[in-house]
Amino acid sequence: MTPVKIASISRVDLKGFEETTPSITDVKHLSSYNWIDSETPTIAIPGCPPLWSPPKARHPESPLEPLFRALYTTHPSFDIGAVDLVTDRNNIRKLLSFINPSLSKNGLEPFTIEVEVTGKTAVFCRAETETVRFLGPRDFVGFGHEFEKAYTRDQVNGSTGHHRIISYFFGGLRLIVRYETDGYIDPLSGSPVVGMDQVDLSSMIQSLSLRPSKCVPCGTSGQSKLLLRHEGRTVAADSILEIKTRVAHKPISVQEVLPQLWVSQTPNIVRAYHKNGVFAPPKVENVVAEIKKWEESHREDLRRLGSLFKKLIDIVKRSGGKASARYDRQKDRLEVWTAATVKMLPDDLYSKLDYGDAEDAPHERAPAG
């Protein structure tokens, strides 16, 4: 079927609603998982991010399936009908960059987001041109990757990445947001990370003993090719960190990374600098106060972001429930097109979305904290 343009959205169309508070509130950790290096797509739940320790797409058929599998493994009767939008962090960053291009370090590039509305819940899925990149054990992919290998310790055997799932209210909507995290600091170390102070991390090393279970198939319909196993432990949100690396003569401004940290409410950052691949000893910085200041100083951008979420969901809902949102650089507009009927999720997960819309369905609310 030939795609048909449904709508075209300009920045000037997006007026924030004054009655809507443009801030993230009621943040809750829902679930997490690690991708496992295996011939069959496998995730470990809850998994564990790499432990910050200074030296002494995998499933392209359904990129969002692991999010829902992890969520329903952790909360089997989760009330998905109470959620307005499920998305990756990257989609929010792209839409925020459309609203204010200066928030993107490399400028506003063309992007496509697949949108699907089932019942009361919208799902945003990033359209990928390359979902999997295979690397050999000796492949060099940059100093940043080598730095992470040297300064963190994997906590889940065979892991290729740790993904966290959180929920929060924003712009009058309940969101579920998935994002990948680089590591965590040991909460048992007794060495708090405060303000923008530099902290010695030599005491933040703690060994963990993690026992994996056997891999089991996901779902009951036999349609899913994804396996899961129970392994790892849930890590507190205030210990999560983002790692950024760069050559020493190009400092990383914290303002540059605050939009990303705001979307996922990531409280800690490591900015590591190297000269010819040799890194100076890095420090962990707590940037919670900076994230809050950034949110307050971008109130109008965030109001427009909430307006854009609602506009996209409404357009797609009124146009059959499936569409693609594409940024056209030449026109400098976000255009919405009809989309192919390819399903984002296996049928058993769609049944949960449909069931979540039923008024008499028993539900489990998101956990507190």
pLDDT digit string, tens, across residues 76-94: 999 999 999 999 999 999 9
Note if the bond before 346 is cis, omega within 30 degrees.
no
Which residue has 């089932």 as its token pair?
118
d(CA 136, CA 148): 17
Three-state DSSP class for residue 52: strand
193-202 confidence digits (pLDDT tens): 444 333 333 3
pLDDT at 238: 93
pTM of the full structure: 0.83
Q: Please list the ranges in the chain whose pLDDT falls under 50.
A: 130-141, 190-210, 356, 358-363, 368-369
Question: Phi and psi dihedrals of 115, rounded to 5?
Answer: -125, 135
d(CA 258, CA 206): 28
Return the beta strands (E) in the chain as ranges: 5-9, 25-36, 42-47, 51-52, 85-88, 112-118, 121-126, 152-153, 159-170, 173-181, 183-184, 216-217, 227-232, 240-247, 268-275, 278-279, 284-286, 322-328, 333-338
pLDDT at 40: 87
Domain boundaries defined on the chain: 5-356
d(CA 96, CA 101): 8
pLDDT at 17: 57
pLDDT at 198: 37
pLDDT at 169: 97
Helix (H) or strand (E) holding 47: strand 42-47
d(CA 133, CA 135): 6
Contacts of 364 (CB under 8 A, 6+ apart): 75, 76, 77, 78, 79
Structure token digits, residue 171: 């712009």
Q: What is the DSSP letter of 351?
A: H
Within 10 angstroms of residue 74's Cβ, the number of other Cβ atoms is 18
Helix (H) or strand (E) holding 166: strand 159-170
How many residues appear in the chain?
A: 369
d(CA 267, CA 23): 16
